[in-house]
Amino acid sequence: MFADNTVVIQSHDGQNKQILSAIEWDTFQRVWAKNEQYQLLFTAYDDRSLAFNLLTSENSVFYDGQEYIIKQIVDEFNGGQHTMQITATHVYYQLSSRVQFNVRAGDNSFSLSEALGFLFDGVSGFSYEIHGGFNSSKTLTDFGNVPISEGISTIKDTFGVYAVIPDNHVVNIYDESSYVKETRNVLRYRNDTSDIQLQYDSQSIVNRVQAVSTAETPAFEPFFVENQESINTWGIREGVRVESDTVTDVNQMRTLAAQSFVLQPTIAFSITTEENRKVKPGELWNVQILETNFLTKVEVVSITETPFTSAAVQIELNNSRANYLDAQKAQAKIIKNIQDKQSNVDTINTWVIGYVEE
């Protein structure tokens, strides 16, 4: 057994397992992004050890209780030094090269458990666990003959899975309430961090789409679905039409079309902490900028950390309608304060031109 804070290399056949100590520790990074990325990056130097020489493709790296597989290596000889730059992805991503060859032809109704059971059937070495309530069944068409990772992505989108979090060979499927963790932690600008970026993007706004039945005999005439509040604020912003060959009810189609709406600009947060602060996926943090009276609650969705140094942790936080409204409320207050000050200055400096009667 090895401590979680050690880095261990294991050969692909499992016959050799060694602690790797010849690491340039300031290069050792763990990068995680929800539903997107989970990997280790580091540079090791040649100390003629067995551990260094185990740094070959498809061997495993164990750190902090998780297994990663070496996927990319830059083997460099420079100025008398021999180093290797390693990129190792979480073992979960091995599922991109495992395939469910069976197919359920046509339209089939699945519960989440049934869909995952079919997808993982015959896939040795991996399992899944469901956390939270996914009670409704969904229709999957010609489901199968697909890499397992791609099938998981299809299931995620179809069933509204909030987070897919691997724990070594176990794939954990979460709804939102089971995944997010409430904390009382606050990241304050100039206290816990000297760098907060709020990135606004209005390019993705969609508030009007056309709904179309593509059944052999259309169930309804094409119609538009709109969000009038967003249109009043931002103008008409149309998205691609939404099609279905299975939905026959107009109201159900209206609900389906509305799922493509993005009703206001998005806002994303990037924060660099003042120290190597422990942050966990799914935690809810408060972000505060005292200068602007801005305060909002956000979820940690990406972490880049250098755990063996005192370097700052880079965090990305989710965006939501609530976060955007909090930002707009703070901005509106600033604008009002400026306008009030200008109004007071104008009042003080007002001169009345006229004459004095004798």
pLDDT at 340: 64
181-201+266-343: CATH class: mainly beta
State what percent of residues in the chain have pLDDT above 70. 88
Write out the two tokens for 313: 């942790």
pLDDT at 190: 84
The whole-number average pLDDT for the span 127-150 is 93
221 Cβ contact partners less than 8 Å away, ≥ 6 residues apart: none
Q: Is it the case that residue 331 has pLDDT exceeding 60?
A: no
CA distances from 217 to 212, 214, 277 (A): 12, 8, 59
Tens of pLDDT along 15-64?
Answer: 999 999 999 999 999 999 998 899 999 999 999 999 999 999 999 999 99
pLDDT at 194: 80
Spatial separation of the C-alpha atoms in residues 215 and 220, rounded to whole Å:
10
Amino acid present at 132: G
Spatial separation of the C-alpha atoms in residues 37 and 87, rounded to whole Å:
12
pLDDT at 243: 93
Looking at every residue in the chain, the average pLDDT score rounds to: 87
Spatial separation of the C-alpha atoms in residues 235 and 231, rounded to whole Å:
4
Q: Is it the case that residue 325 has pLDDT exceeding 70?
A: no
pLDDT tier for residue 333 given thresholds of 50, 70 and 90: low
**Helix, strand and coil percent figures for the chain, each rounded to 5:** 25, 40, 35
Beta-strand relationship, 242-244 and 181-188 = unpaired
Q: What is the largest CA-CA distance in the chain?
A: 111
pLDDT: is 342 or 235 the higher one? Answer: 235
Write out the two tokens for 330: 């703070």
pLDDT at 22: 96
pLDDT tier for residue 232 given thresholds of 50, 70 and 90: very high
CATH of domain 7-91: 2.40.30
The whole-number average pLDDT for the span 100-114 is 95
Sort residue 293 into left (φ over 0), alpha (ψ -120 to 50) or beta: left
How many other C-beta atoms lie within 10 A of the C-beta of residue 307? 15
- Let me know how long the chain is: 358
Tens of pLDDT along 63-74?
Answer: 999 999 999 999
pLDDT tier for residue 322 given thresholds of 50, 70 and 90: very low
Spatial separation of the C-alpha atoms in residues 14 and 324, rounded to whole Å:
50
CA distances from 164 to 26, 36, 181, 200, 301 (A): 29, 9, 15, 26, 12
Domain borders along the chain are 7-91, 98-177, 181-201+266-343, 208-260
What 3-state DSSP class applies to 126? coil
pTM: predicted TM-score of the whole model, two decimal places: 0.78
Beta-strand relationship, 208-213 and 223-226 = antiparallel
Tens of pLDDT along 155-200?
Answer: 998 998 999 999 999 999 999 999 999 988 888 888 878 888 877 7
Write out the two tokens for 81: 């030094």
pLDDT: is 330 or 260 the higher one? Answer: 260
**Cα R_g (the chain), whole angstroms:** 27
CATH of domain 98-177: 3.55.50.40
CA distances from 298 to 5, 168, 316 (A): 29, 27, 9
> What is the per-residue DSSP string for 327-353?
HHHHHHHHHHHHHHHHHHHHHHT----
Amino acid present at 174: Y
Q: Is it the case that residue 245 has pLDDT exceeding 50?
A: yes
Spatial separation of the C-alpha atoms in residues 204 and 227, rounded to whole Å:
15
pLDDT tier for residue 352 given thresholds of 50, 70 and 90: very low
Nearest to 241 by CA among 229, 227, 228, 253: 253
pLDDT tier for residue 277 given thresholds of 50, 70 and 90: confident
Q: Is it the case that residue 81 has pLDDT exceeding 70?
A: yes
pLDDT tier for residue 225 given thresholds of 50, 70 and 90: very high
Spatial separation of the C-alpha atoms in residues 1 and 318, rounded to whole Å:
37
pLDDT at 327: 47
Query: Most confidently modeled of 258-267, 299-308, 331-340?
Result: 299-308
> Crossing angle of helices 148-159/112-120, nearest 10°?
170
